[in-house]
Amino acid sequence: MGGETIKDARHIKTKINDVKKPNDAAKTASAGAPDAANPAGPAGIEKPENAGLSGQSFSAEVPPTYAPPKRLDRYIAEDLRLFSRAQIKARKLAAFVNGKSVKISRLLSGGDKITLFWEKAPDRIVVPENIPLKILYEDERVVVVNKKTGMVTHPAAGNWNGTLMNALLAHKKLEAQEDVRSFIAHRLDKDTSGVIICAYTKEAVFFLSSQFKKRAVKKTYYAVVQGEPLEKQGVINKRIRRDKRDRKKFEAFDSPAPPTQNGENAGKKAVTRYKTLKTFAFLDRKYSLLTLRPKTGRTHQIRVHLRSIGVPVLGDPVYGFKDRIFSGLPLMLHAARLCIRIAPGEDPKIFRAPLPKRFRLFLKKAAKQRKTPV
């Protein structure tokens, strides 16, 4: 069966078969999957066997003036916003450029015609779970929660239960749903505690998300770090990219580099302001309490930035140093304050989450130690 030609916000000519394009569903039309009598996908390209009859397809044309060349997987994730790079692998995506089968690392240029096939995601139902929540604010549009450490924001591979979304479904007395990401306006890492805002309507999600995208939201975090910053306060202005040696990690670096031959760019701009409040000495080690105000919102931004200046967050299992004094301590990072508008025409509201127990216990213990002048 054929698909319906559309144009997305980037003026990319696209055709979709049997799928609503993520993040742009309102602009797409659904059509049936190819059947045995019509195995061809878009532009008459034969559908690969591993996609199956339940698979889905998508076609697009790169704008003629598009430059510089970019890897196909990055183009899918960043320009088309069809899948994340992790999802591309999980969906066993098969790619064709100008009618020829290509690897996902293939560089794209202006005018290239793309056809993609992938496996349909297995249906996963998110069920309500009676999990206690600390509600800071709630109305018919939004809810603000003081998230506890160890709680994942939304269900995903490996974490289908015990998430904030499971808890919110029960809190709102809603039935099980297939897609609860529509609640999400922003995220906190699993082990980061503190203020997070979610939405109950699509309009509210769009309004909140647009403020984060425009960097109109003011966020304040507290962190206990290993060591003492060389400067008591400052701005960490380092770009962040995925670690080439470990794709689950990120790395910060000082200066941007031009795109490389394989299409990788110089990461994303990231800016974090910090200020040292106190520094404590425990035996032969130092620890510092910082306030942080990230201007951007990159994945792991605060944790990566602090590691890059030699003071990782205490309790960080990914970016931290081994610590014999506070071994086993949870991540000492807390989203303490959020300033955001919750409805058009209203003034910004400020939401605060008090210091959690793990911070209070640390500070109580630190108060008994000799303080280093700061």
- Per the CB < 8 A criterion, the answer to whether 337 and 350 are in contact is yes
Structure tokens at 300: 């792991």
Active site residue 189: yes
Locate 3 and state its tokens.
């698909």
User: If we measure between CA atoms, which residue out of 148, 193, 188, 186 comes closest to residue 167?
Assistant: 148
Q: What is the 3-state secondary structure (H, E, C) of the chain?
A: CCCEEEECCCCCEEEEECCCCCCCHHHCCCCCCCCCCCCECHHHCECCHHHCCCCEEEEEECCCCCCCCEEHHHHHHHHHCCCCHHHHHHCCCEEEECCEEECCCCEECCCCEEEEEECCCCCCCECCCCCCCCEEEECCCEEEEEECCCCCCCCECCECCCCHHHHHHHHCCCCCECCCHHHECCCCCCCCEEEEEEECCHHHHHHHHHHHHCCCCEEEEEEEEECCCCCCEEEEECEEEECCCCCCCEEEECCCCCCCCCCCCCCECCEEEEEEEEEEEECCEEEEEEEEEECCCCCCHHHHHHHHCCCCECCCCCCCCCCCCCCCCCCCEEEEEEEECCCCCCCCEEEECCCCHHHHHHHHHHHCCCEECC
Tokens 């078969």 sit at which residue? 17
Q: Which of 18, 112, 189, 316 is catalytic?
A: 189
Length of the chain: 374
Positions marked active-site: 189
